[in-house]
């Protein structure tokens, strides 16, 4: 959908003029990690690893729709609301965000 953000590293294929034109053609916004900073992608790389190890590699999906539905349920029901993250003090992201918001409002 237009407005989708496509994040990548600084690989030459993602910097190419024709590739950037395709992003623009489809209403996508390009986003790249900072030059020489490999840590920009670390949170997403961690997420993709979790998704693959905890869900995708253990299933065969009959259709693309079935895969999309399972992945959406994993993200919304499990990853964001139940799965504890060491980086967030062993809280699920939704609870961490809620607590952080309350702290910001109180400050």
pLDDT at residue number 55: 95
- Written as tens digits, the pLDDT of the chain (107 aa) is 778 888 887 778 888 999 999 999 999 988 887 777 767 777 878 888 999 999 999 999 999 999 999 999 999 999 999 999 998 999 999 999 999 999 999 98
Q: What is the pTM of this model?
A: 0.65
CA dihedral 53, 55, 59, 63 (to 10 degrees): -130
- Full 3-state SS string of the chain: CCCCEEEECCCHHHHCHHHHHHHHHCCCEEEECCCCCHHHHHHHHHHHHHHHHHCHHHCCCCCHHHHHHHHHHHHHHHHCCCCCEHHHCCECHHHHHHHHHHHHHHC
């Amino acid at each position: 959908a237009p407005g989708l953000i496509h994040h990548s590293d600084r690989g030459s294929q993602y910097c190419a003029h024709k590739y950037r034109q395709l992003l623009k053609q489809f209403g996508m916004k390009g986003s790249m990690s900072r030059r020489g900073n490999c840590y920009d992608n670390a949170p997403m790389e961690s997420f993709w690893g979790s998704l693959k190890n905890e869900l995708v590699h253990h299933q065969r999906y009959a259709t693309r729709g079935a895969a999309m539905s399972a992945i959406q349920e994993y993200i919304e029901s499990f990853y964001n609301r139940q799965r504890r993250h060491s980086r967030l003090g062993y809280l699920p992201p939704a609870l961490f965000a809620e607590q952080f918001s309350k702290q910001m409002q109180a400050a």
